[in-house]
Amino acid sequence: MATVVMVFLAVVVLFGLVAFHALIVRNQTRIDTLNAEIADSVRARQELQLAVAQLEAPDRISAEAIGRLGMIKPAGVTYLEPLSAEAAADVVPVSSGSDIEAGDDVTSVDNNERTSEEAPEGRG
Amino acid sequence: MAPRAAGPRPAPYDPGRRIAVMILALVIVAAALVVQMVRIQVFDRERYVAWGEEQRSRSVVLTGDRGDLVDRHGETLAVSMPNPVIWVDPRLVVDPVGQAEALAPVLGREAADIAEILDDDGLFRYLQRPSDPETARAIEALTDMPGVFVTEEPARFRPNGTLARSVLGSTDVDQIGISGIERQYDSSLAGVGGRMMSERSIDGRTIPDSERIIEPAEQGADLRLTIDRALQFQVERSLIDTVEAENAEGGMVVITEPATGEILAMASVARNADGEVVTTPDNRAVTWTYEPASVMKALTFAAVIDSGLASPTTVAAIPDTVNLYEESFTDDELFGTRSMTPTDIIVRSSNTGTVIWARELGATALDEYLRAFGLGTATGLDFPGESAGLFDQVEDWSGTSIASISLGQGISVTPLQMLAAYNTIANDGLYVAPRLVAEVSSEAGSERPQAPPARRVIDAESASAVRNMLTRVVVDGTARRALVPGYDIAAKTGTAQKPQEGGGYTDSFGAYHYVATVAGFFPSEHPQFSMIVVIDEPAPEIYASRVSAPLFGELAAWTLRHFQVSPDTDLVFDESAAGPDEAGVD
């Protein structure tokens, strides 16, 4: 009886070792697969980083804006001066039913004073 | 019953003999096996161990990627990526001519050239390096192409094309920096390759619990430059437009932050062989020297005022001609003699007024001040090929040197040197060395590269006085076209004759060539930015006040807007200021 038990235990241990080894092999395969996926992801990230940088290049954006979207360089810049507290109080809110229509200039900016024209010789 | 055959009786069966033969055979076989085992395990052990390891071991090279270059906001300027290369093992090539004919249209090369490589006696030849993904895929799609392989190696990519190319520089095919920042910081940028050794089964799987040796690769450090990508783009585009419009040979623009010395934009453009204006691979803002002419007058008067000889309002009688030894120094306008202050002299860019005050200062003092402003010495940027300019020792000056040098002739500087000197005036008299690299980041951490310490050149009051004088130059003087509505701008113009090969200032046809410069800073009361614009050989218009000043104003306006510096609400743009120069041209 003892011999049978010993043989049985030996078989169990043997199968256990085989199963353990199979588990190790399977996990190693999994590790190899994950390492390969990491390498692929790193590569993809680098490619995307380069693609983003190329898309953000000022030269490309400028060409797209002018060539495809039909934009033009502004002749000058208009600065808007914030209203003082007193002046702001005098501004009639649009929602009050005034006669303001679309297209009306509703700012109270003194454009004569704050409008920036082109620099001398028109290079601005 | 059948009769038994007559004759001798057969020998009786002897199993012992057969067993003996069998045992002998087994012993012989066993002995042979033992001998073989001893040979393998004892005498040839090393060879078989090595053979086994060779079969199991796989060595993978771990690349240490070259570090990235990014601008001050982290926008990518240069990056390294794996890129295909196509190579051949000529020993494995079966049909050099036939394979070459198949490869020729894919590689875009002559079949005969390719066949010569395929027929080589060596073990390894490149067919295309660097290649590109499309070509690599086409090569891999070719059938019956023994001996031709595609592999990858790091390559340098610049997603912004030629933007800032003179600053960034370049690398060779082996990823070694050969110019610009790539060369200057090559040791920091370069990665160190590593190696991973592992044991693999015949199907390529890692053998569990086997020996694994990893020598980790070290990634190269990333460099964050002080350059602003958007401003750099605008500067290059506007500079190219101006050089084309003014029919010039080239030009340079540098924009810095005076307080820190950080270079925000640095551009060099020139005409190529086809006459097209393009950005140069050479960073001429630090490698090219020229006689700066009248922009030097601001430094001369900074010295005069700081030494206590005069204030901006000191009145002196200034003639229109000063004779010194055999040379005469005159102004464009012959006005006889009139009373002028140093401010008037700077605003009108009077040569004679500058010479008279420079002689009052003396050669030794002028020499000391100009050297303290950084002239005659490299800026400390350590950029590859950076020039220190040409500035004779005062002992070697001739009798007229004090006059010519005070006017910016007989001395040569780089555009960056001159801008660093103007930064000193902007910085209340402190010289701050320019810098291009804000941060070096590696796995070990980040560090800011050391720069020479700031040093005092003139006192704060003197610097403030000169700033006010330079502001007047833009309001009333020769730099009016540099005016930016809503902002105080301080600047000085200078139009220099350009020395010609063989000496003298005229070419073989007797014609002069000019360099037009505007240097300054803004807003002038509390300068946040400084700029120098240099236009090389404009024609027919030659004066900086008309050639360079408009570009200065355009870029100053763009810079102020880009960095969201609000206009001064007390400054109202007077449209009458848009008229012609009132104080002459320079």
Q: CB atoms < 10 A from the CB of B152, how many?
A: 16
pLDDT classification of A116: cutoffs 50, 70, 90: very low
Q: By CA distance, what is B232's nearest residue in A?
A: A58
Do A58 and B205 count as a contact with CB atoms less than 8 A apart? no
Taking a C-beta distance cutoff of 8 angstroms, is the pair B380, B423 a contact? no
Question: ω before B384 within 30° of 0 (cis)?
Answer: no
pLDDT classification of A104: cutoffs 50, 70, 90: very low
What average pLDDT does range B19-37 have in this prediction?
A: 93
pLDDT reported for residue B572: 47
Could you say which of A49, A117, A119 has the minimum Cβ distance to residue B553? A119
Q: Look up residue B278 and give its amino acid.
A: V
Q: By CA distance, what is A45's nearest residue in B?
A: B81
Alpha-carbon distance A104 to B267, whole Å? 44
- Beta bridge partners, B435, equal B262
Residue B156 pLDDT greater than 80, yes or no: yes
Cα–Cα distances in angstroms (integers) from residue A83 to residues A78, A117, B520, B573, B574, in the given order: 15, 21, 33, 19, 22
pLDDT classification of B307: cutoffs 50, 70, 90: very high
Alpha-carbon distance B210 to A28, whole Å? 11
Tens digit of each residue's pLDDT (9 = 90 or more) over A3-29: 999 999 999 999 999 999 899 989 988
pLDDT classification of A74: cutoffs 50, 70, 90: confident
Residue B75 pLDDT greater than 60, yes or no: yes
Q: By CA distance, what is B71's nearest residue in A?
A: A53
Which of the residue ranges A28-32, B229-233, B234-238, B256-260 would you say has the lowest mean pLDDT? Answer: A28-32
Complex ipTM more than 0.95, yes or no: no
Alpha-carbon distance B554 to A120, whole Å? 10
pLDDT reported for residue B316: 94
Residue B54 pLDDT greater than 60, yes or no: yes
pLDDT reported for residue B568: 76
Report chain A's C-alpha Rg in angstroms.
38
Share of chain B above pLDDT 70, in %: 95
What average pLDDT does range B408-434 have in this prediction?
A: 96
By a Cβ cutoff of 8 Å, what residues of chain A touch chain B? 21, 24-25, 27-29, 31-32, 43, 46-47, 49-50, 52-54, 56-59, 62, 77, 79, 81, 113, 116-117, 119-121, 123-124
pLDDT classification of B503: cutoffs 50, 70, 90: confident
pLDDT classification of A76: cutoffs 50, 70, 90: confident
Cα–Cα distances in angstroms (integers) from residue B395 to residues B286, B365, B401, B532, in the given order: 27, 12, 11, 31
By a Cβ cutoff of 8 Å, what residues of chain B touch chain A? 75-76, 79, 81-82, 157, 159-161, 163, 205-209, 229-230, 233-234, 237, 480-481, 483-486, 546, 550-551, 553-554, 557, 561, 567, 569, 572-573, 575, 577-579
Share of chain B above pLDDT 90, in %: 71
What average pLDDT does range B114-130 have in this prediction?
A: 90
Taking a C-beta distance cutoff of 8 angstroms, is the pair B520, B490 a contact? yes
Q: Within its chain, how far is the Cα of B71 from the centroid?
A: 12
User: B386 in helix, strand or coil?
Assistant: coil
Residue B13 pLDDT greater than 90, yes or no: no
Do A29 and B205 count as a contact with CB atoms less than 8 A apart? yes
Do B208 and A27 count as a contact with CB atoms less than 8 A apart? yes
Burial class (CB in 10 A: 0-12, 13-18, 19+), B529: buried
B554 vs A contacts (CB less than 8 Å): 119, 123-124
pLDDT classification of B3: cutoffs 50, 70, 90: low
Tens digit of each residue's pLDDT (9 = 90 or more) over A33-61: 998 899 899 889 988 999 999 999 999 99
pLDDT classification of B573: cutoffs 50, 70, 90: very low
Which of the residue ranges B127-136, B303-312, B514-523 would you say has the lowest mean pLDDT? Answer: B127-136
Contacts (Cβ under 8 Å, ≥6 apart) of B11: none
pLDDT classification of A107: cutoffs 50, 70, 90: very low
Whole-number average pLDDT of chain A:
75
Taking a C-beta distance cutoff of 8 angstroms, is the pair B387, B331 a contact? no
pLDDT reported for residue B62: 78
pLDDT reported for residue A78: 73
A113 vs B contacts (CB less than 8 Å): 572
DSSP labels, B331-356: -SS---EEEE-HHHHHHHT-HHHHHH
Alpha-carbon distance B453 to B170, whole Å? 30
Do B159 and A31 count as a contact with CB atoms less than 8 A apart? no
**Which of B40 and B466 is assigned the larger pLDDT?**
B466
Q: Is the pTM of this model over 0.90?
A: no
Alpha-carbon distance B193 to B425, whole Å? 48
B577 vs A contacts (CB less than 8 Å): 120
Tens digit of each residue's pLDDT (9 = 90 or more) over B339-395: 999 999 999 999 999 999 999 999 999 999 999 999 999 998 999 999 999 999 999
- Taking one residue from A and the other from B, the number of pairs with CB-CB distance under 8 angstroms is 96
Which of the residue ranges B28-42, B370-384, B430-444, B561-575 would you say has the lowest mean pLDDT? Answer: B561-575
pLDDT reported for residue B584: 65
**Which of B52 and B31 is assigned the larger pLDDT?**
B31
pLDDT reported for residue B522: 94
Residue B216 pLDDT greater than 80, yes or no: yes
Which of the residue ranges A78-82, B106-110, B401-405, B448-452 would you say has the lowest mean pLDDT? Answer: A78-82
Taking a C-beta distance cutoff of 8 angstroms, is the pair B572, A113 a contact? yes
